[in-house]
Amino acid sequence: MQNTPVALVTGANTGIGRQVAKELAGRHGYTVLVGSRDLGRGEAAAAEIDGDAHAVQLDVTDEGSIAAAAQRIRNEFGRLDVLVNNAGISFVGDADTPLEERARAGLLTEVSPDVVRQFFETNVIGPIALTQALLPLLREAPAARIVNVGSSGSSLTLNADESNPQRSMFGIYPTSKSALHAATLGFATALEPAGIKVNVADPGFTATALNNFQGTKTVEEGARHIVRMALIGPDGPTGTFSGDDGPLPW
């Protein structure tokens, strides 16, 4: 087993995930595993990272891919200290569709059951399945951390507030992220006796391909809190939902 701590970041060939991988490898000295559905794109991203970075083929909706990734990490690296569940989808269909139009199409009054299944497979079931597959390695780490990338736009409390103008866009994407938030709390309570801290980090409205680069934050800004939560010490929180400005309501 190597002495350098190891972090796996899913969906790390682009956007916030790639920036998180860059910072963990370049600034914090981690061996970083760049999870990517397309291995070639993952290898290209890993090659651009200043530090020890390796591409791992990983499709969180594919049980075989998850099993192969877990086995490779065991065989090649022998440890896993940090898991960042970043991979996700925010819409289906044509990437040129305006953001407002995507939001309307994603309302639960409009979206098809097949699309609902696709969102939950990627944004909820995938992170749960991957976390379960990697728990044997995480349990062996001296201070394992799991960070699930969430969204303040998926806060049930905020969207229940009638004065919130964004609540009209509460469709399948925020619904799936709300479910991921709940799953995070489930893992956090179950793993607390083992000392494994599990939290939700909200990157904020970051300019990425998920929103046609309409976000107001850079990927560097969006990655900052995720990295912070991946590196929390023994006195850090578990079972929390937070962003750059502090705790967020569930």
Q: How far apart are CA 109 and CA 114, in angstroms?
A: 14
**CA 184 to chain centroid:** 11
30 is catalytic: no
The sign one gets for the Cα dihedral 99, 105, 106, 109 is positive
Q: Check if the beta carbon of residue 151 is closer than 8 Å to that of residue 182.
A: no
From 30, 177, 197, 217, the catalytic residue: 177
From 22, 30, 173, 197, the catalytic residue: 173
217 is catalytic: no
Tokens of 151: 């969204």
Residue 237 is classified by DSSP as -
Q: How far apart are CA 21 and CA 225, in angstroms?
A: 13
Q: Which residues are catalytic?
A: 173, 177
